[in-house]
């Protein structure tokens, strides 16, 4: 009897992807319809290479609480996109055979928009093959918050909390000296400015917050930037700036690519420093004051000690919902988080969307989230973002450091 | 009657410098010998410019608990070294007049080895002038842990906890994919490898930790580095490397300077990227696998949400001790933290050292803290470092973010 569940994780790591795994495991345990629960290591690549293991054997129930607080993908992940069915049918056949071998009835793939492409293609292949008894569900995750069909994505709230907290701390650091200085902080987001916008959350009675915020949804003009900086430095000695890694000029060319093409390193290689480092050079050329750049880098996606409780609890619920949908016979859908509007307070419920509405699409910041001058965010943006970073988890520390789960410790 | 206390903060920001300020305020409040408590804004520069204010007016007692958790220097800081008495006697005279004007009997300067130089010079000047009724105490702070005369420095434990936690999270992030990759992480420390060594603390049953650790106390050889990396990648797909920002070659030349002099940016400016970015380029030239570099940057010195409770409590005690010493008539001394050995557990008491034993000197990692191959640290180093990161503070969060004090909010 085919009634087993297979889970895999895909795409970039987040702080919340394991919380969704925990949600799936919790719900699967109480659902009689589900037999064994398998994990594939390294996403769809792990299915293709039959790197599959019994998850219940590997993960005792008492480890779930720690798994919830462990960053990155505990099962391992991949960045692997299936080719079209026409060009790679053997690959699809291989997956189907593995599913048959392990008697998989339910497959839940936790990932972002590229991973939803996998859900969609696999669903399509099964449909072509008239296989109606395997149910494939996508569980969203990405720190980029760029998925359509869901109010926000698991993983984003925690990354946003890290960004806002770090900006709050940097604000204090910047205020230390009485000399004119500019601090440029590069925030992740190659295509969208969601995380960069979250830097504004630190503005409060004790914190001025970033003086200028540049999201990649608006064309970045270097002359305007120089003027913005000049104006700010005149009224405030320490200027703190948030910049999306993916800012582009009016031709749609990445600012970081302009740098890459202008400079080569001593070996003739292109340098892959980010846009903040590039802009640091430009400011240094134009102004006498001190300029430094900070790249928040991968810390944004793995700082689980600063996870948003809201994000983690929702991520668990997304995992639970994915199991419920699979058992009810849904397939080729992604779990969605829906914000209940008009309540006067923040509350969500969980639904689903057709994967074709999500896969390979990118949801950018709405234009009314960015202020008219393109250097800050609106109250509407703050209202949207604020609830997502609320709450802190109790972290288990041992000898001064958070405790994690490492399923493949060797 | 001259019985007032003046406090100032100096040098680079840390997470613990305000905890020492809290300790001073707490103890000053219960000491009848002390009249008013003044603060100088921006260190010794604030004294010279008479930027002095009544601290008790500015800071109510109920704000101290939040001040304890606020990073960077709440009073503002400076990097200002007094010239010699001979060449700048007017400056010293100015300070003395300000002291007289505000009836200062006690002056406590919180800072690192440059700040202790100020304590020393000022003490010397007062001695020359036969002024025996002003008492000057240095309270140590620096994330670099490079001060002589004290087992360790306030601020270091919290920075070390941030570094070790971040390495632990990066270890999980690195393990995500099954492709060969190297992650180079640059840790602060221009002259010493204390913080870099702290990365090793994350090694535990759930974490492999950094595979290679390069402290700046050992000459850095690029050929050896390439070989180290090559060997590691062969046995472990994801290699995590900790590197001191201040690594130097056998000629004592900073590796980051080699980069600076080899490359100029598009404007002909020298680039001030760090050594990790430079080494990323070298690895990319030599190996086919993925290489990325991460600079922990100023986050190391301002991530107060991850402060070490041990560090913060000790920093408060250092502040208290500095008041006690001043009242007992000590001057030109720095408070020291002494580790009580042979107890079988970690305990410290507080003493003092002559500032001349501390000022302008740099305490590097002992050679028996670094392993024989120069790519890791010894058990002795771990035993020394471990207690310093123990314990977590209860952080006050409001709307998902830590609450801070901003004394000069405007």
Chain A, 313 to 352: residues with Cβ < 8 Å from chain B are: none
Mean pLDDT of B101-108: 98
A131: closest CA of chain B, how far (Å) = 31
- CA A394, A73, B168, B294 dihedral sign is negative
pLDDT at A266: 42
SS3 of chain B: helix, strand, coil, percent, to 5: 40, 20, 40
A71: closest CA of chain B, how far (Å) = 7
* Contact state of A285 with B302 under an 8 Å Cβ cutoff: no
Please give the Cα distance from B372 to B324 (Å, whole number). 44
> Which of A187, A296, A287, A190 is CA-nearest to residue A239?
A287
Please give the Cα distance from A382 to A379 (Å, whole number). 5
Compare CB distances from A263 to B78, B266, B398 and report the shortest one's residue.
B266
* Contact state of B402 with A301 under an 8 Å Cβ cutoff: no
Characterise A104 by phi-psi region: left (phi > 0), alpha (psi -120 to 50), beta (else): beta
SS (H, E, C) B101-155: HCCEEEEEEEECHHHHHHHHHHHHHHHHCCCCCCEEEEEECCCCCCCCCCCCCCC
pLDDT at B62: 85
- pTM, whole model, 2 decimals? 0.96
Compare CB distances from B404 to A168, A177, A273 and report the shortest one's residue.
A168
Mean pLDDT of B336-365: 93
Chain A, 25 to 44: residues with Cβ < 8 Å from chain B are: 41-42
Task: Please provide residue B112's backbone torsions phi and psi, each rounded to the nearest 5 degrees.
Answer: -100, -155
Work out the end-to-end distance of chain B between its first and last CA atoms, rounded to an integer number of angstroms: 34
pLDDT at B272: 53
Question: How sure is the predictor about A389, in pLDDT bands with cuts at 50, 70 and 90?
Answer: very high
| Chain B interface includes A299 (CB < 8 A) | yes
> Which of B36, B39, B53 is CA-nearest to residue B10?
B39
Q: Is the pLDDT of residue A269 over 80?
A: no
Residues in chain B: 410
Q: How many CB atoms lie within 10 A of CB A87?
A: 9
Q: Do domains B4-155+304-360+392-402 and B156-301 have the same CATH topology?
A: yes
For the purposes of burial, counting CB atoms within 10 Å of the CB of B53, is it exposed (0-12), middle (13-18) or buried (19 or more)? middle
Told to judge if A144 belongs to the known catalytic residues of this protein, a careful annotator would answer yes
Compare CB distances from A173 to B172, B298, B305 and report the shortest one's residue.
B298
Please give the Cα distance from B103 to B97 (Å, whole number). 9
What digits encode the pLDDT tens for the residues B3-12? Answer: 999 999 999 9
Which residue from B minimizes the CA distance to A388? B400
Instruction: Name the least confident of A277-281, A394-398, B343-347.
Output: B343-347
Mean pLDDT of B360-370: 96
* Contact state of A302 with B178 under an 8 Å Cβ cutoff: no
pLDDT at A343: 79
| Chain B interface includes A281 (CB < 8 A) | yes
Work out the end-to-end distance of chain A between its first and last CA atoms, rounded to an integer number of angstroms: 34
pLDDT at B361: 92
| Helix (DSSP H) and strand (DSSP E) numbers for chain A | 14, 13
| Chain B interface includes A200 (CB < 8 A) | no
Please give the Cα distance from A31 to A229 (Å, whole number). 58
The 10 Å CB-count burial string (b at 16+, else e) for B94-126 is ebbebbeebebbbbbbbbbbbbbbbbbbbbbbb
pLDDT at A409: 77
Please give the Cα distance from B256 to B276 (Å, whole number). 8
* Contact state of A172 with B70 under an 8 Å Cβ cutoff: yes
Following DSSP, what letter does each residue of A116-147 receive, concatenated? HHHHHHHHHHHHHTT--S-EEEEEE--TT---
Picking from A10, A265, A300, A406 by the largest number of B CB atoms within 10 A of its own CB, the best residue to mutate is: A265
> Which of B2, B9, B162, B170 is CA-nearest to residue B75?
B9
Residues in A touching B279 (Cβ below 8 Å): none
Residues in A touching B302 (Cβ below 8 Å): 169-170, 172-173
Q: How many CB atoms lie within 10 A of CB B76?
A: 24
Mean pLDDT of B71-95: 96
Please report, for chain A, the start and end positions of each structural domain, with discontinuous segments joined by +.
4-143+305-360
Q: Which residues of B are catalytic?
A: 144
What digits encode the pLDDT tens for the residues A51-108? Answer: 999 998 888 888 999 999 999 999 999 999 999 999 999 999 999 999 999 999 999 9
Cβ-contact B50, B97 below 8 angstroms? no
Dihedral of CA atoms A273, A276, A278, A282 in degrees, nearest 10, equals: -170
Cβ-contact A330, A137 below 8 angstroms? yes
Residues in B touching A206 (Cβ below 8 Å): 403-406, 409
Mean pLDDT of B289-306: 96
pLDDT at B258: 78
Please give the Cα distance from A248 to A192 (Å, whole number). 11
What digits encode the pLDDT tens for the residues A185-233? Answer: 999 999 999 999 999 999 998 999 999 999 999 999 999 999 999 999 9
Instruction: Return the CA Rg of chain A.
Output: 23
Q: Is the pLDDT of residue B336 over 90?
A: yes
* Contact state of A390 with B399 under an 8 Å Cβ cutoff: yes
| Chain B interface includes A266 (CB < 8 A) | yes
Q: What is the CATH number of domain B156-301?
A: 3.40.50.460
- Whether CATH 3.60.150.10 fits A4-143+305-360: no
Mean pLDDT computed over every residue of chain B: 94
Helix (H) or strand (E) holding B333: strand B333-339
Question: How sure is the predictor about B256, in pLDDT bands with cuts at 50, 70 and 90?
Answer: confident
Cβ-contact B8, B119 below 8 angstroms? no
Residues in A touching B296 (Cβ below 8 Å): 299
Instruction: Name the least confident of A111-120, A169-178, B262-271.
Output: B262-271
pLDDT at B1: 77
pLDDT at A265: 43
Task: Look up residue A388 and give its two tokens.
Answer: 């997502």
Please give the Cα distance from A199 to A163 (Å, whole number). 6
| Chain B interface includes A67 (CB < 8 A) | no
Q: Is the pLDDT of residue B348 over 90?
A: yes
Dihedral of CA atoms B12, B13, B14, B18 in degrees, nearest 10, equals: 130
Cβ-contact B280, B291 below 8 angstroms? yes
Cβ-contact B304, B402 below 8 angstroms? yes
Please give the Cα distance from A371 to A380 (Å, whole number). 10
Question: For residue B248, what are the β-bridge partners?
Answer: B254
Please give the Cα distance from B239 to B291 (Å, whole number). 9
Catalytic residue among A114, A117, A144, A368: A144
Q: Is the pLDDT of residue B263 over 60?
A: no
Compare CB distances from A269 to B285, B301, B302 and report the shortest one's residue.
B285
pLDDT at B269: 44
Please give the Cα distance from B326 to A202 (Å, whole number). 39
Please state whether beta strands A52-54 and A37-40 pair in parallel, antiparallel, or not at all (unpaired).
antiparallel
Instruction: Name the least confident of A258-267, B218-227, B326-335, B385-394.
Output: A258-267
Mean pLDDT of B369-374: 96
A to B CB pairs, distance under 8 Å: 221
| Residue percentage of chain B with pLDDT more than 70 | 96
pLDDT at B234: 95
- ipTM value for the complex: 0.96
Cβ-contact A31, A25 below 8 angstroms? no
Question: How sure is the predictor about A395, in pLDDT bands with cuts at 50, 70 and 90?
Answer: very high
Residues in A touching B72 (Cβ below 8 Å): 169, 172-173, 175-176
Question: How sure is the predictor about B49, in pLDDT bands with cuts at 50, 70 and 90?
Answer: very high
| Chain A interface includes B305 (CB < 8 A) | yes
Q: Is the pLDDT of residue B267 over 50?
A: no
Alpha helices in B175-262 (DSSP H): 194-198, 222-235, 255-262
How large is the angle between the packed helices B275-286 and B222-235, nearest 10 degrees? 70
Question: How sure is the predictor about B301, in pLDDT bands with cuts at 50, 70 and 90?
Answer: very high
Which residue from B minimizes the CA distance to A170? B302
Cβ-contact B20, B154 below 8 angstroms? yes
Mean pLDDT computed over every residue of chain A: 94
Question: How sure is the predictor about A312, in pLDDT bands with cuts at 50, 70 and 90?
Answer: very high
Please give the Cα distance from A213 to A200 (Å, whole number). 8
Fold entry, domain B4-155+304-360+392-402: Rossmann fold (3.40.50)
B237: closest CA of chain A, how far (Å) = 13
Compare CB distances from B207 to A78, A267, A406 and report the shortest one's residue.
A406
Mean pLDDT of B16-35: 97
Please give the Cα distance from B317 to B211 (Å, whole number). 36
Q: Is the pLDDT of residue A342 over 80?
A: no
Question: For residue B5, what are the β-bridge partners?
Answer: B37, B106
Please give the Cα distance from B405 to A168 (Å, whole number). 11
Compare CB distances from B390 to A267, A306, A400 and report the shortest one's residue.
A400
Question: How sure is the predictor about A273, in pLDDT bands with cuts at 50, 70 and 90?
Answer: low
Residue tagged 């950018």 (tokens) = A364
Task: Look up residue A210 and give its two tokens.
Answer: 């970033």
Q: Is the pLDDT of residue B253 over 80?
A: yes
> Which of B192, B157, B162 is CA-nearest to residue B387?
B157
Please give the Cα distance from A156 to A113 (Å, whole number). 14
For the purposes of burial, counting CB atoms within 10 Å of the CB of B48, is it exposed (0-12), middle (13-18) or buried (19 or more)? middle
* Contact state of B401 with A172 under an 8 Å Cβ cutoff: no
pLDDT at B259: 58
**SS3 call for A109:** strand
Compare CB distances from B178 to A42, A399, A406 and report the shortest one's residue.
A42
């Amino acid at each position: 009897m085919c009634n087993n569940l297979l889970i895999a994780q895909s795409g970039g790591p987040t702080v919340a992807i394991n919380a969704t795994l925990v949600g799936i495991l919790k719900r699967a345990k109480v659902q009689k319809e589900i037999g064994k629960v398998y994990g594939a290591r390294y996403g769809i690549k792990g299915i293709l290479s039959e790197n599959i293991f019994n998850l219940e054997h590997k993960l005792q129930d008492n480890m779930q609480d720690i798994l919830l607080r462990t960053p990155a993908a505990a099962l391992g992940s991949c960045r692997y996109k299936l080719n079209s069915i026409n060009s790679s049918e053997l690959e699809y056949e291989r997956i189907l055979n593995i599913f048959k071998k392990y008697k998989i009835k339910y497959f839940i793939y936790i990932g972002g928009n590229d991973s939803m492409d996998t859900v969609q293609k696999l669903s399509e292949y099964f449909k072509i093959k008239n296989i109606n008894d395997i149910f494939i569900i996508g569980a969203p995750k990405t720190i980029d918050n760029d998925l359509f069909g869901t109010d926000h994505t698991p993983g984003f709230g925690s990354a946003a909390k890290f960004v806002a907290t770090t900006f709050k701390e940097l604000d204090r650091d910047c205020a230390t000296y009485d000399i004119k200085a500019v601090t440029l902080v590069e925030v992740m987001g190659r295509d969208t400015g969601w995380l960069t916008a979250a830097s504004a959350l630190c503005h409060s009675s004790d914190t001025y917050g970033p003086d200028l915020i540049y999201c990649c949804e608006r064309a970045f003009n270097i002359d305007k930037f120089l003027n913005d900086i000049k104006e700010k430095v005149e009224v405030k000695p320490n200027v703190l700036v948030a910049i999306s890694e993916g800012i582009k000029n009016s031709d749609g060319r990445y600012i970081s690519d302009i740098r890459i093409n202008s400079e080569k390193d001593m070996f003739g290689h292109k340098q892959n420093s980010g846009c903040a480092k590039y802009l640091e050079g430009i400011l240094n050329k134009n102004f006498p004051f001190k300029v430094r750049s900070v790249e928040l880098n991968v810390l944004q996606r793995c700082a689980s000690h600063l996870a948003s409780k809201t994000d983690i609890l929702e991520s668990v619920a997304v995992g639970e919902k994915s199991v419920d949908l699979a058992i009810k016979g849904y397939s080729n859908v992604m779990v969605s988080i829906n914000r209940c509007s008009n309540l006067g307070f923040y509350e969500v419920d969980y639904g689903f969307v057709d994967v074709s509405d999500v896969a390979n699409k990118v949801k950018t910041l709405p234009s009314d989230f960015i202020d008219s001058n393109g250097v800050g965010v609106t109250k509407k943006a703050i209202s949207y973002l604020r609830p997502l970073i609320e709450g802190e988890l109790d972290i288990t520390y041992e000898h001064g450091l958070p405790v994690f789960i490492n399923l493949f410790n060797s």
